[in-house]
Structure 1
Amino acid sequence: MIPRLITQICSHVLVPKRTRNPVWANAASGIDVHDDCKLKFLELKAKRTFRFIANAASGIAVHDDCKLKFLELKAKRTFRFIANAASGIAVHDDCKLKFLELKAKRTFRFIANAASGIAVHDDCKLKFLELKAKRTFRFIVFKIEEKQVIVEKLGEPAESYEDFAASLPEDECRYAVYDYDFVTLENCQKSRIFFIAWCPDTAKVRSKMIYASSKDRFKRELDGIQVELQATDPTEMGLDVFSSRAN
């Protein structure tokens, strides 16, 4: 009887009879939350007067056994995981534990996302930020090795486009970024950061598939890419192509 009464109280907006406003307005959703909801929750929390309080808006109540079982898992490690029946997907607690180890103790350099199968070494992002902010490098060549993207070569600022082109193997896929300088028609010196997905026709099919499927995931790690090129031979990434795409 009491839980049903609480449900009814929380599911209606009451007209206040007192001078103070008994509701808190949620400006984002336009829904008012009556202060009796909070009071009844405090009673449940402090005195355990009720077993649960239903949310009439969604029609779904959260049983306190959910919280109790979670506390058992957290404190006593009685369970390995608790599945979310709504989604059908359980998150193994080892995921959180390993992340906490990485965060607190730096036991690991990275944790791979099994969905894509490819991890990105944080040195890739660090070197890219140096190129972007300090212009420490003219170009960076990346390769996928042992299921992670790593830095293969760093081009010094004095190195030329020819040096960059020579750094890309003839029969293997690579990713690269290139800091391209140019002069506008108004005689202004500018630069553009190019991302190049190098995928020569002579590369192995499996390698092409891996680089193609991992490209977008890797690009998201490099905040500041301005132009993207996909090249299968040197003519598709020549200086004339850079010039036409830079403007």
Structure 2
Amino acid sequence: MAQKKLPAPDEMSFLDHLEDLRWHLIRATLSIAIAGTIAFLAKGFIFDVLLFGPSKGDFWTYDILCRISNFMGVDGGFCFDELPFTLQSRTMGGQFSAHIWVSITAGFVIAFPYVIYEFWKFVAPAMKENEKNTSRGFIAISSILFFLGVLFGYYVVTPLSINFLGTYQVSSIVLNEFDIGSYISLVRSSVIASGLLFELPIIIFFLTKVGVVTPMFLRKYRKYALIIVLILAAIITPPDLVSQIVVAIPILILYEVSILIAVIVYKREAKKLNTKP
């Protein structure tokens, strides 16, 4: 079915905007479905190499963290040959369901730049020409930040979480035999949450542009942000110094970058209004 041609943005009614949004959502969903289908067919690589990689003792992150721990003289528990837990499927459709959901997640990650592109195409008609020019790098920057966050979640947050939870025991009598759904949920939440967390500079950019936050506000509450970051690092990582530092530093850097972005945007907006920043 051919897409209905919509009127010019300044002539569009509320229903026309909804129709336009519907087509953007359809195309974004189709891109995720196509990428997800490719991920579904690449089952061996997606599961054996990517998904189950952090559950193996020779995973790249464990080797690096082992060296860092030895260098700092801290026993972080990262020097091992094998993690003491097994994965299993407890339901008839458990593995097939896991395959489907992992493919959808992988499809979203792969298609993220196009999803962002469709979002930009929807809001672009409401922008002025100079705003369009300054936001053309939005897709590339947001995609780069998202993929950096995904890599951070996969190579840092996920191994730290798996290492801690996979080796934690209240008693030697209780064996760690995890359901595949629980394991996948941990990996998925770590990767997606980190990817979205790395979008903080983009979020601050828009919040500053519309006047919701200012550089002064971000600087004023920097110490509270530091406390929140340390608490967050303590929650998602094992209770040792090395792990918490590894997770906290990138988040703090993102916050400082967000302040810098807020300063630039705030000055530009103030200049437009002929006011002193």
Q: Same fold by TM (over 0.5)?
A: no
Which structure has the bigger radius of gyration?
1
TM-score (structure 1 length as normaliser)? 0.24
As a proportion of its length, which structure holds more helix?
2
Larger RCO: Structure 1 or Structure 2 (Cα < 8 Å, ≥ 6 residues apart)? 2
TM-score (structure 2 length as normaliser)? 0.22
As a proportion of its length, which structure holds more strand?
1
